[in-house]
């Protein structure tokens, strides 16, 4: 397998819902593994433990070659922050605009998707799960 760079997102209990949402947005194959699937009968993550159905590791691989990973943290260990964004960029206006529409729906747009001073179409939003996204659509040279 080649090296790849992709985001790994941490959630406070809604990783399954978030990763299923991203599958709706981008398509592809989603693999989810719960804490309970690896639990021992007397371990805190055993199948009958309260967090057994939480996601230990999730990976979405899309037809466009994107990879997105995520997991739930144990109760009380999630610290929301604004120290990351997921960046989508390329020159396929229709594809990237479609992603933007789905990601920004129900979220908060901080920079509308529109032509910027550097010539590209760019936007920033926070989706309904609190994840920050940047979309940059490269414009063909004039």
Q: What is the pLDDT of residues 16-64, one digit of tens each?
A: 999 999 999 999 999 999 988 876 444 444 556 678 899 999 999 999 9
**CATH code (residue 57):** 3.10.180.10
Same domain as 66, residue 119? no
**What mean pLDDT comes out for the span 127-140?**
90
Same domain as 16, residue 67? yes
Average of per-residue pLDDT values in the chain? 85
Instruction: Pick the more confident residue, 26 or 76.
Output: 26
Same domain as 90, residue 37? no
**Is position 79 within any domain?**
no
pTM over 0.85: no
Same domain as 98, residue 48? no
Residue 133 domain boundaries: 86-137
**Is position 53 within any domain?**
yes
Task: Say what the pLDDT of residue 99 is.
Answer: 95
In whole angstroms, what is the distance from residue 127 CA to residue 119 CA? 25
Task: Say what the pLDDT of residue 39 is.
Answer: 67
DSSP secondary structure string, 80-98? Answer: ---S--EEEEES-HHHHHH
Task: Say what the pLDDT of residue 79 is.
Answer: 64
Task: Say what the pLDDT of residue 12 is.
Answer: 86
In whole angstroms, what is the distance from residue 35 CA to residue 29 CA? 20
**Is position 67 within any domain?**
yes
In whole angstroms, what is the distance from residue 4 CA to residue 69 CA? 12
Are 33 and 54 contacting, i.e. CB atoms less than 8 angstroms apart?
A: no
**Is position 2 within any domain?**
no
Domain boundary residue among 72, 103, 122?
72
**Is position 77 within any domain?**
no
**Is position 1 within any domain?**
no
Number of domains in the chain: 2
- Nearest residue to 14 via CA among 22, 4, 6, 25: 22
Task: Say what the pLDDT of residue 66 is.
Answer: 92
Same domain as 66, residue 16? yes
Task: Say what the pLDDT of residue 41 is.
Answer: 43
**Is position 25 within any domain?**
yes
Are 18 and 131 contacting, i.e. CB atoms less than 8 angstroms apart?
A: yes
**What mean pLDDT comes out for the span 108-127?**
94
Residue 34, H or E segment:
strand 29-34
In whole angstroms, what is the distance from residue 12 CA to residue 124 CA? 23
């Amino acid at each position: 397998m080649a090296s790849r760079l992709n985001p790994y997102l941490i959630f406070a209990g809604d990783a399954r819902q978030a990763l299923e949402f991203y599958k709706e947005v981008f398509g592809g194959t989603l693999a989810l593994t719960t804490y309970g699937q690896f639990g021992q009968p007397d371990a805190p993550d055993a199948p009958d433990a309260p967090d057994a159905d939480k996601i230990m590791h999730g990976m979405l691989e899309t037809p466009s070659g994107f990879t997105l990973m995520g997991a739930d943290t144990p109760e009380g260990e999630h610290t929301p922050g604004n120290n990351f964004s997921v960046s989508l960029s390329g020159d396929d206006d229709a594809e990237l605009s479609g992603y933007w529409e789905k990601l920004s729906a129900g979220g908060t747009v901080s920079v509308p998707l529109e032509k910027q001073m550097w010539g590209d179409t760019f936007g920033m939003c926070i989706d309904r799960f609190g994840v920050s996204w940047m979309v940059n659509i490269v414009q063909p040279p004039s």
